[in-house]
Structure 1
Amino acid sequence: MSDEHLDSAILVTLQEVMETEYPVLLDTFLLDSQERVLSLRRALASGDSEALRCAAHSFKGSCSNLGAVRLAELCFALEEMARDGRLEGAAGCVEGIEREFAIVGILFRAERQRFA
């Protein structure tokens, strides 16, 4: 599984390291990420650029750790916008993160099925 959405080398390494806990890691990422997306939405709605920056930074880290490269890139872009206090384009960025998370979710659920 190597494409613009997921880094297959990272997933292989995670499988080797986590062994039987790998499916749990995928499940945890999916659940945690839903909360992170909600945090992005809340911070955006409140106009709190620092909360948005922190939420994007945190989500970026977990995405990077799980090999969700495109999602991490989008979070980084949002983090930079929020750091600079540029919220006018942030709504579109959050929407892009939500779309990419939907794709990653499908891919991770398919990956999870291999271990059912």
Structure 2
Amino acid sequence: MSEHINQEQFQELKDLLEDDFIDLINTYVADSEKRIIEMQTAFDNEDNRMGFESAHSLKGASSNLGATNLTEMCYQLQEICREGQLHKHQQLIDDIKAESQAVNADIQAQLDA
């Protein structure tokens, strides 16, 4: 895998969940895509509350999978929204989107291996 996911944490979760792991991954991928769309909508509408909730949700789910960079970026966006400054941070949303896509690609590569 790459630097996008903590391999040890990912493997521990896989071992722990066994047969339920694939369901968790499918849910995570679908939910992460939904949260990215919500973040962009929040930015477009200057809706800091929606941005906070989306970032918070993706942060927690990403943390569980060991996606440490994505977790940190979502934390940053969450704090920006808490300060009411979402409208100044399109680049961070773009970075989260790119990192999320990289994480999801790494997950798929791991499942295909």
| 1:90 aligned partner, one-letter code | H
Structure 2 SS opposite 1:73: helix
How many residue pairs get aligned? The number is: 113
2:104 counterpart of 1:105: yes
Residue identity opposite 2:61 in structure 1: S
Query: TM-score scaled to structure 1, two decimals?
Result: 0.90
SS in 1 for 2:86: coil
Asked whether the equivalents of residues 60 and 75 of structure 1 are also in contact (C-alpha less than 8 Å), the reply is yes
Q: 1:42 matched to which residue of 2?
A: 41
The root-mean-square deviation of aligned C-alpha atoms, in Å, is 1.3
- Choose 47-56 or 86-95, whichever is displaced more: 86-95
Q: Which amino acid aligns with 1:112?
A: L
| 1:96 aligned residue | 95
* 1:26 paired residue number: 25
Aligned-partner Cα distance in 2 for 1:63–1:14:
12
* DSSP-derived class of the 1:95 partner: helix
CA distance in 1 between counterparts of 2:87 and 2:26 reads: 33
CA distance in 2, matches of 1:59, 1:9: 20
- CA distance in structure 2 between the aligned counterparts of 1:47 and 1:88, rounded to whole angstroms: 6
How far 1:24 sits from its partner (Å)?
2.2
User: How much has 1:88 moved relative to structure 2?
Assistant: 4.2
Q: Match of 1:80?
A: 79
Aligned equivalents of 2:73 and 2:49: distance in 1? 17
* Distance (Å, rounded) in 2 between the aligned partners of 1:88 and 1:11: 34
- Given that 1:8 and 1:67 are in contact with CA atoms closer than 8 Å, whether structure 2 keeps it comes out as yes
**Structure 2 alignment gaps of length 5 or more:** none
Report the Cα distance in structure 2 between the residues aligned to 1:89 and 1:24, rounded to whole angstroms. 36
After superposition, the C-alpha distances for 1:45-79 in whole angstroms (9 at most, x for unaligned) are 11011111111111101110111111111100111
Residue 89 of structure 2 aligns to which amino acid in structure 1?
A
| Long gaps (5+) in structure 1 | none
